[in-house]
Structure 1
Amino acid sequence: MMLPQEVDGNACLQPSPIIDWQHPHILKLAQELSSKYSSSEAIAQACFEWVRDQIYHSVDYQMNPVTCRASDVLKYKTGYCYAKSHLLAALLRANGIPAGFCYQRLSIDGEGAPYCLHGLNAVYLPKTGWYRIDARGNRSDINAQFTPPIEQLAYSARLPGEVDSQTIWTEPLPLVVSALQAHTQWDEMLGYLPDLLLDL
Structure 2
Amino acid sequence: MELIQEHPGLARYLAADEAIDHGHPLVQETADALWAAADGDAEAYARVAFAFVRDTVPHSADSGDLRVVWRASDVLAARTGICHAKSHALAALLRARGIPTALCYQRLAEDDGTGHLLHGLIALRLPGSARWSRQDPRGNKPGVDAQFRLDREQLAFPVRPELGEVDHPVLYAAPHPGVLTALRGSADRPELWRTLPTAL
**When the two structures are superposed, what TM-score results if normalisation uses the length of structure 1?**
0.91
Q: Is the 8 A contact 1:62 1:186 kept in 2?
A: no
**Residue 36 of structure 2: aligned partner:** 35
| Matches of 1:100 and 1:110, distance apart in 2 | 30
1:1-200 counterparts in 2 under 5 A? 3-4=4-5, 7-36=8-37, 37-109=39-111, 111=113, 113-125=114-126, 126-127=128-129, 129-158=131-160, 159-197=162-200
Please report how far the alpha carbon of residue 166 of structure 1 lies from its aligned counterpart in structure 2 after TM superposition: 1.9
| Matches of 1:184 and 1:71, distance apart in 2 | 18
Q: Is the 8 A contact 2:6 2:173 kept in 1?
A: no
Aligned length: 195
SS of corresponding position for 1:78: coil
Identity fraction in percent: 41
Q: Is the 8 A contact 2:135 2:154 kept in 1?
A: yes
Please report how far the alpha carbon of residue 153 of structure 1 lies from its aligned counterpart in structure 2 after TM superposition: 0.2
What do you get for the CA RMSD once the two structures are aligned? 1.8
| Matches of 1:179 and 1:193, distance apart in 2 | 5
Q: Is the 8 A contact 1:4 1:130 kept in 2?
A: no
1:42-101 Cα shifts (integer Å, max 9, x gaps): 111111000000111111111131011111111111001000000000000111111010
| Matches of 2:123 and 2:112, distance apart in 1 | 24
Which one is further off, 180-189 or 133-142?
Answer: 180-189
Unaligned runs of 5+ in 1: none
Please tell me the residue identity of whatever aligns with 1:150: R
SS of corresponding position for 1:150: coil
| Matches of 1:78 and 1:100, distance apart in 2 | 21
SS of corresponding position for 2:153: strand
| Matches of 1:169 and 1:7, distance apart in 2 | 11
Q: Is the 8 A contact 1:105 1:195 kept in 2?
A: yes
> Are the structure 2 counterparts of residues 7 and 153 from structure 1 closer, same or farther at C-alpha, using a change threshold of 3 Å?
farther
Unaligned runs of 5+ in 2: none
> Are the structure 2 counterparts of residues 38 and 121 from structure 1 closer, same or farther at C-alpha, using a change threshold of 3 Å?
same
1:132-157 Cα shifts (integer Å, max 9, x gaps): 00000000110000121211000011
SS of corresponding position for 2:122: strand
